[in-house]
Structure 1
Amino acid sequence: MIYKALVFLLLLTALAPQVQAQNLQPVVRKLQAPPARKEKFQLYLLVGQSNMAGRGQVEAQDTATNPRVLRLNKAGQWELAQDPLHFDKPTAGVGPGLTFGRDMAALDPSVVVGLIPCAVGGSGIDVWQPGAYFPDTQVKPYDEALDRARLAMQQGRLAGIIWHQGETDCTPEKSAAYQQKLRDMIARFRQDLQAPTVPFVAGQLPAFQFTTPGPKGKPQPSPDLTRINRALVQLKHDVGHYEYISTEGTHDRGDQLHFDAAAARLLGHRYAQAMRKLQQSGRSRSH
């Protein structure tokens, strides 16, 4: 019996690093004061559902901190940003937000970036309006995002919004109305936050979701997913200071629904590139 117990303990010790790597979470969250000058604190609102919140597996690179990338935590305090950024569900993991924040900080060394995580897994676009309640997580997504953004804006300047959502709206009835609802939501955020020209970047849905049999049995995106992705493209024609990013080349984590960590980081880079493009074009128009 003693021999078996020793073997079990040795096996447990050998496997411990692997188990820890699979469930790596930040142990310590360090509070950090933002810069005193509001113009030096650029704020970004992260909204949408689970693929913005992130469901990728957290690795060591996702817990490394940067003193110029902060996160507004659930309690409304600023801290050094680490994944998971979001707290909508216990399954929150790696999303695009942290990579996006790091890239935006690298693009302008003179500023500190403040990330405002507000995505809610499973939330359809209908709950992203004033007063709407989402029973799954017992929150009002739009109202709470406004509250958190306004709190952050007491110390910084809203520099952009990134949005990834649409999976819940992949039905014939909902996808047909998606374009108008998203257009209205963008206008509402800008009006309620008194930021009429704040850049807004939306992410398309990935091809691995909601597939249907195509020619020779090869899977292809469903008509509803295709309709939502087309809507995101078409919004460029009638919404100012707006851009979208592609999800081409991304992979799921094995559930055909959520991006894996590598894909989430890739999207973070794409969000930053699109955001920078909008910010630069906005500055050129203002001169």
Structure 2
Amino acid sequence: MLNSFLLIGQSNMAGRGQIGDVEPIDNNEIYMFRDGEWATAKEPLHTDPLGLAGIGLGMSFADALQKKYHKPIGLIPCAVGGSSLSQWQKGETLYVNALEQASQALKSSNLKGILWHQGETDSDQLASAQTYRNRFLVFIDSLQEDLGISKTPIILGELGEFLQQYEECTYYETINDVLKEITNTHSLFSFVPSTGLTHKGDFLHFDSCSLREFGSRFAHVWEIASQRLGVSLD
């Protein structure tokens, strides 16, 4: 059975890094779930109607774990650029799709983690930033119940420091504070810092090199969380 990970959130999880800016990761033990079946993973992992998806953090995350543990890794890419937290609530299209994809993938894999990076869209208004915590926990509770999981590590990525220069993300620090607080008070959650990572020139999206590093950080944090929660790769 594959060890699978669900990738959800918005564009920085889907990946907007420029293809060609970094060396491709060629690892035949990394798979992606697409069109109802597992295939050897290659970037971009995500698809979108505008063709914007590029380098993301998923491949370097999977590569780090696969090379350390010598176990096959499966990625379930369901992130959608520009999505708000409200669009991820139970019953909404993005939730339904992620649940459907994950449920299909779990027929031939064991879910070992959920990777989340989202919040830029919700950082444009104070009200959405201040209510993020409760809305996020409701979303996760629903997802856990529907997937039948209770001890799966949930890894949360910090929004980029460079958002301070992006005028539409005024309250990004509020979102980051919420993410940190959740990981400090809920044992299933862990926080991945984005310290020192850089944008691709738009003050919004991580560049390819930073996404490679971010994925490695996600892997390191997952390792710590898995040891704490008693989760191991099969």
TM-score tier after normalising by the smaller chain length: over 0.9
Corresponding position: 1:80 with 2:40: yes
- Change over 3 Å in CA distance of 1:176–1:264 after alignment to 2: same
- Contact 2:22–2:208 under 8 Å retained in 1: no
Cα deviation, residue 212, structure 1: 7.7
Once residues 46 and 211 of structure 2 are traced to their aligned partners in structure 1, the CA distance between those partners, rounded to angstroms, is: 14
Q: Where does residue 28 of structure 2 map in the other structure?
A: 67
Question: Which of 142, 145, 155 is matched with 2:95 structurally?
Answer: 142
Corresponding position: 1:195 with 2:156: no
- Determine helix, strand or coil for the equivalent of 1:235: helix
Q: Where does residue 73 of structure 2 map in the other structure?
A: 113
- Determine helix, strand or coil for the equivalent of 1:243: strand
Structure 1 segments of 4+ aligned residues over 6 angstroms from their partners? none
- Contact 1:205–1:247 under 8 Å retained in 2: yes
Name the count of aligned residue pairs.
229
- Determine helix, strand or coil for the equivalent of 2:187: coil
- Contact 2:194–2:214 under 8 Å retained in 1: yes
Cα deviation, residue 182, structure 1: 1.4
- Contact 1:201–1:275 under 8 Å retained in 2: yes
Once residues 199 and 276 of structure 1 are traced to their aligned partners in structure 2, the CA distance between those partners, rounded to angstroms, is: 10
Give percent identity, aligned residues only: 33
Q: Deviations over 1:73-116 (max 9, x none)?
A: 2x12211111100003411000101111111112211x210000
- Determine helix, strand or coil for the equivalent of 1:45: strand
Cα-Cα RMSD: 1.9
Cα deviation, residue 209, structure 1: 1.2
- Determine helix, strand or coil for the equivalent of 1:209: helix
Which runs of 5 or more residues in structure 2 are unaligned?
none
Which runs of 5 or more residues in structure 1 are unaligned?
1-37, 133-139, 214-220
- Contact 1:69–1:113 under 8 Å retained in 2: yes
TM-score, normalised to structure 1, is 0.76
Q: Where does residue 276 of structure 1 map in the other structure?
A: 223
Equivalent residues in 2 for 1:214-229, closer than 5 Å: 224-229=171-176
- Determine helix, strand or coil for the equivalent of 2:102: helix
AA partner of residue 252 (structure 1):
H
Cα deviation, residue 197, structure 1: 1.1
Cα deviation, residue 154, structure 1: 0.2
Cα deviation, residue 238, structure 1: 2.9
Cα deviation, residue 240, structure 1: 2.3
Q: Where does residue 177 of structure 1 map in the other structure?
A: 131
TM-score, normalised to structure 2, is 0.92
Question: Which of 32, 43, 46 is matched with 2:4 structurally?
Answer: 43
Structure with higher RCO (Cα < 8 A, 6+ apart): 2
- Contact 1:62–1:83 under 8 Å retained in 2: no
Once residues 197 and 10 of structure 2 are traced to their aligned partners in structure 1, the CA distance between those partners, rounded to angstroms, is: 17
